Structure 1
Amino acid sequence: MLKKLFQAIRPKGQVVLPDPDAELALGALLVRVAQSDREYQLEEISLIDRILARLYQHNAIEAAKVRATCEKLQAAAPESDTFGRLIRETTDIEERLAAMDALWEVVLADNKEHPGEVTIVEEIRRAMGLSYADSQTARAKAKAKLISLSEEN
């Protein structure tokens, strides 16, 4: 079903993107959140690469290639909840919670919670079948991680 949807929205003659799996869906969502404030910064790009490397055991080059694919996929992609449902349907609860943690890491990467970013994360949360409490726990973890990293520097 998703394959047909993506084929329908792709302009003819453009580069064919891979059908999204949970990894590409999460990567595209991370990119979407990072770009939602219209300031897609190197700090956010690097963070997305680190998250993809951590969650999917990629080296730095592989993670950057996956992120680049996710950027293209995100640009051609349907609504965020489509990716969220794909993640819900293809992963277990632990992976969905890890995805929520990663989303909040990207939201908080610039030390600001932009309303647009939070709105997207909430749409994704509902689509992934996670509770508001799950999201707030992930937010707290991401905030603690950010504080810990700033104290180390």
Structure 2
Amino acid sequence: MLKKFFQAFRPETPTQLPDPDAELALGALLVRVAQSDRDYKLEEISLIDRILARLYQHNAIEAAKVRATCEKLHTAAPETDTFGKLIRETTGLEERLAALEALWEVVLADGEQAEGEIKIVEEARIAMGLSFNDSQNARKRVLERLA
């Protein structure tokens, strides 16, 4: 009897997640960075929405829907380097540099750089085929914008 009661609250079929493309891969990485400190703040959620809107020309509602999908992908997600490799294989250098800059934007949004956040950015950077100098330059550009 209890089993039937609990089954009534579960969806009948699990939601099928889309195969990630570069946008969903980056979104999942942004969510992963934001959630890495186990404190997923509204400011970070809003920032991810703004980044997705800026990079992929979404309105606010579309960006929020993409982010929600990215949250689900992150939860069911492959490793960080899988997302990074997908971005590397499907985008050009400029898009990969923009993705790296977006990751730093989320890391630096709260004024703190947690070790877990930096580790995710580094794993993604390597998987995207970008150099340490690319990462430092992206971080510097974000810091200049925040100043």
Q: Would you say same fold, with TM above 0.5?
A: yes
State the 4+ residue runs in structure 1 displaced beyond 4 angstroms: none
Identity of aligned residues (%): 76
Q: What is the match of residue 144 of structure 2? A: 144
Shift in Å at residue 78 of structure 1? 0.9
Instruction: Supply the distance in 2 between the matched residues of 1:79 and 1:47 (Cα, whole angstroms).
Output: 23
Taking structure 1 as the reference length, the TM-score comes to 0.87
Q: Show structure 1 runs of 5+ residues with no match.
A: 1-12, 148-153
CA distance in 2, matches of 1:54, 1:131: 24
How far off is 1:146 after superposition?
A: 1.4
Deviation per CA, 1:2-29, whole angstroms, max 9, x where unpaired?
A: xxxxxxxxxxx42100000000000000
Counterpart mapping for 1:20-99 below 5 A: 20-99=20-99
Which residue in 2 is equivalent to 1:151?
Answer: none
Name the counterpart of 2:134: 134
Q: Give the structure with higher Rg (CA).
A: 2
Cα offsets for 1:41-73 (capped at 9, x unmatched): 001000000000000000000000000000001
Alignment partner of 2:40: what SS?
coil
Question: RMSD of aligned C-alpha atoms?
Answer: 1.0
Which residue number in structure 1 is paired with residue 121 of structure 2? Answer: 121
d(CA) in 1 for partners of 2:144 and 2:92?
A: 25
C-alpha distance in structure 1 between counterparts of 2:79 and 2:146, whole Å: 28
Normalising by structure 2, report the TM-score.
0.91
